Structure 1
Amino acid sequence: MSRFQTFDESTSPAHGPERIGRMRAELTRRGFDGFIVPRADEHQGEYVPKSAERLAWLTGFTGSAGTAVILADKAALIVDGRYTVQAVEQIDTSVITPVQMAETSAEDWVAANLPQGAVLAYDPWLHTSENVRRFEKAAARAGGKLVASDMNLVDVIWIDRPDSPQEPVRPHPIEFAGETAASKLERIRTKMAADKVEALVVSDPHNLAWAFNLRGGDVACTPLPLGYAVIPREGRAQLFFDPVKVTNEAGDAVGDLAEFTAISAFQTALDELGRSGKKVRVDAATGAIAITRRIEASGGTPDVGEDPIALMKAVKNEAEIAGSRAAHLRDGAAVARYLAWLDREAPGGRISEIDAVEKLEAFRIDTGAIKNISFPTISGAGPNAALPHYRVTSASNRKLERDQIFLVDSGAQYEDGTTDVTRTIIVGEPTPEMKDRFTRVLKGHIAIATIVFPKGTNGAQIDSFARKSLWDAGLDFDHGTGHGIGSYLSVHEGPQRIAKTGITPLKIGMMLSNEPGFYKQGEYGIRIENLILVEPRKIAGGDREMMGFETLTFAPIDLRLVDISIMTAAEIAWLDAYHAAVREKLSALVDDETRAWLDRATRPLG
């Protein structure tokens, strides 16, 4: 049994027609012609509480990103490339049309399908100001209008909707945080002064947790306490939580820095901010337009922009870096034990995707330090590996078969660090094509691992290095190369990323993933992922401040899938050096049987 994840399908396409029918009846009753249902909560989070899984309840789609638009005579679910196949499988396509975002955005779909004169409604707590601006333009293009609803219409018809979570809020020890909340607040207020704002509304729970050194358990996989904060430039901050969640330990840790206030008083606090006439920063990425409008209506000046905490949080301090290194060694030993077990057992044909998930989780539990998984494990055999965000269920569960690829992408939450690692394994013998594709992905991985770049470079500028070897063969992958990583926080942290959309300059101390891939639909998928840390680099004779990456993850890369004939001498040398480091760092942390396997799995190629 898994302690941290389940394998039952929580939704069914069969529910779609009846629930969308009820939605349409509610639209008629309220005089609306349509309603927008984003996959979002009030904080725009990736992981949301069960009470906020409105999109999944209404449509059956359980992906982490997507938007449904329900009109009187048609409906669409707009998803990105990660979820194209999953969306078709999870929804009733006779009542909801799946739409690829790359071809048609949600706004463009509204512009093309909203009837003339129609009224499209939305929940202002689930949309940012920019998101609403785009939908307003789209509705106007169609000759209709966008209006805010005072009730979320999904909540009206979702009779057995779960209660909001009430997990305890606890302090995050200074030995792991590395900086006091008082010091962080001083830095935040210095930035607020520079930006000429008099108060900051913290709508992102990740930023709240980091700033006040607090953690919680309100969502899956991330130790988040859901709530808000208001930080004035002068005076005591306010933290808004359900009172039953606030522990004595949290109160003692925060002390005089902030006052804990009931979440029910948050909107009143926004009114007071407005009446004070202050210029108030509202986070563009996570601040709901309801916050902005409430401040504005009360006479204040909302300043929609970047929450300065996000960039501060992204740059890890010495304690967070040391904690991450320790967590990765602990996690690496668990992964090595798992890979050795897999090598022994998978060829027998008895291991299923669910068995593989549970065994990996068991090895991590054996560390005695795991607090949670950092995301639901992607355990894909054969064709399921071709789905980048595949989640195994009892219905989809496959056996690991000989001469097929198995992809496992997993991570753990430890109090000293968050991990995320993907390995692609061959069970039996690979085809020449599999080896070619795997090696091209590996070449891209090595290109990112070894790149040096000047200060000011962003992730978009280096993303193509991971793709060149695939591009040379007319191939590519449809996701970013890397995302930011939190410190006992979100496994997907911004604003740093290695992707076409990665416009934030990389800074020393940022952590990211390095995970190029390749997917052949219906056959196999490949991804190789390590976590990396931005560090300074000295280039002899150079006149620029340069940076590069330290690799944090240590786990063998399957040599049986490597075609050295298309690798350079430098790439082979990197792989040999990486595997030497894996042996050196993990050998003392594993049992004799795993150590013997590790020696074979990390043998030099050069």
Structure 2
Amino acid sequence: MFQTFEVTARPEQGPPRLAALRAELENEGLDGFLVPRADAHQGEYVAARDARLAWLTGFTGSAGFCAALREVAGVFVDGRYRTQVKQQVAEAFTPVPWPDIQLAGWLKDTLPQGGRIGFDPWLHTVAEVERWGKALKDSGLEMVRSANLVDRIWTDQPPPPMQPVKAHPIEFAGETADSKISRLAADLRAAGHDAAAITLPDSIMWLLNIRGSDVERNPLAHGFAVLHGDGRVDLYMAAQKLGDLDLGQAVTVHPPETFLDGLRALQGRVRLDKASAPQAVADALEGKWVAGDEPCALPKARKNAAEIEGSAQAHLRDGAAMVELLAWLDAQPADSLTEIAVVTQLEQCRRRDNALQDISFDTIAGTGPNGAIMHYRVTEETDRRLEHGQLLVLDSGGQYLDGTTDITRTIAIGTPGAEECAAFTRVLQGMIAMSRLRWPKGLSGRDIEAIGRMPLWLAGQDFNHGLGHGVGAYLSVHEGPQRLSRVSEVPLEPGMILSNEPGYYREGAFGIRIENLLVAQSSPTLPGGDAEREFLNWRTLTFVPIDRRLIVVEMLTAAERAWIDSYHAEVVEKIGPRLGKTARMWLDAAAAPL
């Protein structure tokens, strides 16, 4: 179903490719060129054709960019990837801790005499370009719109994906496309906007109740759209993807290469989300665009009853697959398996479900020091044996017709060490604290994220990723705008699905992460509570046991022990009837009261 192109680069391939890029800099009279992990749609996930950063540098993380100058090439990565990048790039590339070090400041230090830095306006958002302009004012540095220089030197670049699009059934969508179009068009009119440009593929999929497969592991189709205030939609997508699919009378299909011409022809005030729209779109609209939120983002994040129920059912089936895997894993002798064997077995367990369309991302199965690489992806070269006394971080998920799952469990192989158990228990305490939280409506992820870090902070420990991300309904496993993050200002609302995944990572030694998915819901007023203030709480969607061998019970409060026992009882109730005899016996033991 999904395209099979894969773009990777061995470290030794990076230097000659960088040299070819620098030759293009010379031809263009540029002092540098930016190579982001992005495509023209500005989603998080890219097709093989758009994996320019991986092709040039070898770095395969889901975020980052390279600033390739004539003498130095900085690879900017955030805290999730600072171990990984050192393993993947050659010495010709210099890892740069980002966002601690910002591009503008780095350029000023590296090119103090100034210079011209090229960028592809399709691959950088309006907000990015605006930030550069402010930060580089009077610096002598100029950011220059350019053709994509990587595309010029990438001689075997994969073709654009052209996978078929299918309708997403109403029993899972919960609302017709016509209804969505009508209410979002009304929102545009109320804001005084005549149209909105939409470039994010998951927004288009959600709005039109369709799904595609242009991007591996994500049911997305590449395209652009314009939503008009009068309830019309112009969809810019290759006709061969759509076939004879009926999108309704409100939707008119155009070739994607005519998108910029369509934008130039628009009249009135056109809404543009500066955080997601490419600069090329703003350039085409010239003075006609006004800044505003992407119209689909929040409505898509607020899951309706059908989407929530579908996600809940998908998690029950996915939980059964996970328990079957864990039972199998515990039955294998220590030192008898490798990471690849675990990944293969887990995918086999999931694929017994006919509703599974694909896994939701490449499974992370890291043992020992590999577990400390937050977004580790096992290869034949890195495959480690599961050794006695080590931990296994297993982060995985499935794309089901009725929902998207994402779960992490950390598993003891043999008898774990005391230090690992203490850190695991602190991570568990943070996960429990967030799961139990009740908070006043109006707070954002930034306001409550520290709750899940507190036990680690008290021990002088922390982790370099957000506490949680939004999750789609048979859409992207990472979905905005909601996040449990210290930078997220989006208020949490009922229906939003987020992950709850604190962790701890000791480079070269071990990693720990525990992750459940939660959905925000209105909380009933408690006896003696403030009846005039609305509160929210979480409903847990994920039901898979937590490894009791790693829990230091003496570190837990009575309330924390009660939460774990209650959670495990619910796992047995919901997942037990879905299991074979052997896995059911394993579950009864694994979920026994503390």
Name the TM-score, length of structure 2 as normaliser.
0.97
Are the counterparts in 2 of residues 170 and 247 from structure 1 also a CA contact under 8 Å?
no
Matched, 1:285 2:283: no
Which residue of structure 2 lines up, in the alignment, with residue 321 of structure 1? 308
RMSD: 1.5
- Equivalent AA in structure 1 for residue 281 of structure 2: I
Q: Could you tell me how far apart the structure 1 residues matched to 2:44 and 2:491 are? A: 23
Write out aligned runs for 1:348-367 (5 A).
Answer: 348-367=334-353
Which residue of structure 2 lines up, in the alignment, with residue 87 of structure 1? 85
Which residue of structure 2 lines up, in the alignment, with residue 131 of structure 1? 128
Change (3 A) 1:523 1:7: farther
- Equivalent AA in structure 2 for residue 471 of structure 1: W
- Cα shift at 1:140: 3.7
Matched, 1:406 2:392: yes
Which residue of structure 2 lines up, in the alignment, with residue 389 of structure 1? 375
- Equivalent AA in structure 2 for residue 207 of structure 1: S
Which residue of structure 2 lines up, in the alignment, with residue 99 of structure 1? 96
Of 95, 104, 108 in structure 1, the residue corresponding to residue 105 of structure 2 is 108
- Equivalent AA in structure 2 for residue 187 of structure 1: R
Q: Could you tell me how far apart the structure 2 residues matched to 1:214 and 1:231 are? A: 16
Which residue of structure 2 lines up, in the alignment, with residue 33 of structure 1? 31
Aligned residues: 591
Matched, 1:419 2:405: yes
Are the counterparts in 2 of residues 241 and 262 from structure 1 also a CA contact under 8 Å?
yes
Which residue of structure 1 lines up, in the alignment, with residue 417 of structure 2? 431
Are the counterparts in 1 of residues 66 and 74 from structure 2 also a CA contact under 8 Å?
yes
Matched, 1:190 2:190: no
Which residue of structure 2 lines up, in the alignment, with residue 55 of structure 1? 53
Q: Could you tell me how far apart the structure 2 residues matched to 1:522 and 1:117 are? A: 40
Matched, 1:240 2:224: no
For 1:55-85, what per-residue CA distance to the aligned partner results, in whole angstroms no more than 9, with x for missing partners?
A: 1111111111111111111111110011111
Change (3 A) 1:6 1:188: closer
Which residue of structure 2 lines up, in the alignment, with residue 603 of structure 1? 592
Q: Could you tell me how far apart the structure 2 residues matched to 1:22 and 1:138 are? A: 29
Matched, 1:534 2:531: no
- Cα shift at 1:46: 1.5
Of 484, 498, 501 in structure 2, the residue corresponding to residue 512 of structure 1 is 498
Write out aligned runs for 1:424-503 (5 A).
Answer: 424-503=410-489
Of 97-106 and 259-268, deviating more is 97-106
SS at match of 1:348: coil
For 1:448-485, what per-residue CA distance to the aligned partner results, in whole angstroms no more than 9, with x for missing partners?
A: 00000011011111111111111111111111111001
- Cα shift at 1:414: 0.1
Matched, 1:171 2:161: no
- Equivalent AA in structure 2 for residue 126 of structure 1: L
Q: Could you tell me how far apart the structure 2 residues matched to 1:99 and 1:291 are? A: 29
Matched, 1:332 2:325: no
Which residue of structure 1 lines up, in the alignment, with residue 20 of structure 2? 22
Are the counterparts in 2 of residues 129 and 289 from structure 1 also a CA contact under 8 Å?
yes
Of 537-546 and 316-325, deviating more is 537-546
Of 257, 271, 277 in structure 2, the residue corresponding to residue 264 of structure 1 is 257
Of 571, 578, 590 in structure 2, the residue corresponding to residue 589 of structure 1 is 578
- Cα shift at 1:17: 1.2
- Cα shift at 1:487: 0.2
Q: Could you tell me how far apart the structure 2 residues matched to 1:41 and 1:240 are? A: 16
- Cα shift at 1:139: 4.0
Are the counterparts in 1 of residues 83 and 507 from structure 2 also a CA contact under 8 Å?
no
Task: Please list every run of 5 or more consecutive structure 1 residues that lacks an aligned counterpart in the other structure.
Answer: none
Q: Could you tell me how far apart the structure 2 residues matched to 1:339 and 1:62 are? A: 28
- Cα shift at 1:9: 8.5
Q: Could you tell me how far apart the structure 2 residues matched to 1:228 and 1:280 are? A: 14
Change (3 A) 1:370 1:213: same
SS at match of 2:383: coil
Of 297, 315, 332 in structure 2, the residue corresponding to residue 310 of structure 1 is 297
Of 540-549 and 100-109, deviating more is 100-109
Of 309-318 and 367-376, deviating more is 367-376
Q: Could you tell me how far apart the structure 1 residues matched to 2:479 and 2:464 are? A: 19
Name the TM-score, length of structure 1 as normaliser.
0.95
SS at match of 1:358: helix
Q: Could you tell me how far apart the structure 1 residues matched to 2:6 and 2:471 are? A: 28
Q: Could you tell me how far apart the structure 2 residues matched to 1:556 and 1:97 are? A: 42
- Equivalent AA in structure 2 for residue 116 of structure 1: Q
Q: Could you tell me how far apart the structure 1 residues matched to 2:116 and 2:8 are? A: 32
Are the counterparts in 1 of residues 168 and 211 from structure 2 also a CA contact under 8 Å?
yes
For 1:192-211, what per-residue CA distance to the aligned partner results, in whole angstroms no more than 9, with x for missing partners?
A: 12221100111111111101
Q: Could you tell me how far apart the structure 2 residues matched to 1:28 and 1:240 are? A: 36
Q: Could you tell me how far apart the structure 1 residues matched to 2:470 and 2:6 are? A: 30
Identity %: 48
Q: Could you tell me how far apart the structure 2 residues matched to 1:486 and 1:65 are? A: 19
